[in-house]
Amino acid sequence: MIPLYDDNPTRSVAYVTLGLIAINVVVFFYELSLSQDALRDFVHHYGVIPVRLTSETRPDAYPTLLTSMFLHGSLMHLLGNMLYLWIFGNNIEDACGRGRFLVFYLLTGLAAAATQIFLHPDSDIPMIGASGAVSGVLGAYLVLYPRARVLVLVPIFIFIKFFYVPAVVLLLLWFALQLFSGWATLGHIGGGVAFWAHVGGFVAGIALIPFFKKRRVRLFR
């Protein structure tokens, strides 16, 4: 299921969400301008490489916990993350306020990276992408707006169907997929999707949103 739109209006323009999307897009176009060798060096310099933070304990590796959130490995990687960020991020920004939302977004991204590093401490493969922080946004949305309806696109063989589903159904199915996929990667070190970062970010979003939302915003609306 591919989410397209939610029926959850906001009270203000989501400037931080738009700004985050803009930064990610600009960085991706910069990546496209690099040669293959330069791009590899760029990703290795600004992406999170777990072993540098565990066995090697290199001080210059700590900033990558933040910079890695704004790098993407492909156009589809970027579009998928930005689509989820736009659909669900504007409501969480509205519920938190701009400043607190930015801090919330970065903290869940850090929690996501920490989860992946804890479970794959010896990996020497760069971890990049906004997926962990976006997962935090999804966790927050589950807690705040489980009854909101989300329009999803469902490809069925050669047909395309559109359905409205409750956010709680969509988000719990998404989380279950990440959890199952992450479980399958335990004991293996390799490239691909950092599923445990998604799990860690999602759980962090659930845990942190009660402390970042505005007082007037109720849980499980």
Q: Which residue has the tokens 């519920």?
A: 95
| Integer Cα distance of 114 and 11 in angstroms | 33
- Is the CB of residue 34 less than 8 Å from the CB of residue 42? yes
Query: Which are the contacts of 25, defined by CB distance < 8 A and separation ≥ 6?
Result: 78, 82
pLDDT along the chain (221 residues), means of 10: 91 96 98 96 95 85 96 95 97 97 98 94 92 97 96 87 94 94 70 85 97 90 75
Q: Residue 189 has what pLDDT?
A: 55
CA 178, CA 167: separation in Å to the nearest integer? 16
What pLDDT is recorded for position 16?
98
Q: What is the pLDDT of residue 190?
A: 53
In angstroms, the CA 34 to CA 41 distance is: 10
The number of beta carbons lying within 10 Å of the beta carbon of residue 56 is 11
Evaluate whether residue 218 is within a structural domain. no
Hey, which residues does 114 pair with through a beta bridge?
none
pLDDT at 57: 73
Question: pTM to 2 decimals?
Answer: 0.93
Residue 90 belongs to domain with CATH number: 1.20.1540.10
Instruction: Please check whether residue 220 lies inside any domain of the structure.
Output: no
Asked whether residue 149 is domain-assigned, the answer is yes
Instruction: Confirm whether 75 is domain-assigned.
Output: yes
Give the domain extent around 15.
2-212
- Per the domain annotation, does 219 fall within a domain? no
Of 62, 36, 186, which is closest to residue 123 (Cα–Cα)? 186
Structurally, the chain folds into a number of domains equal to 1
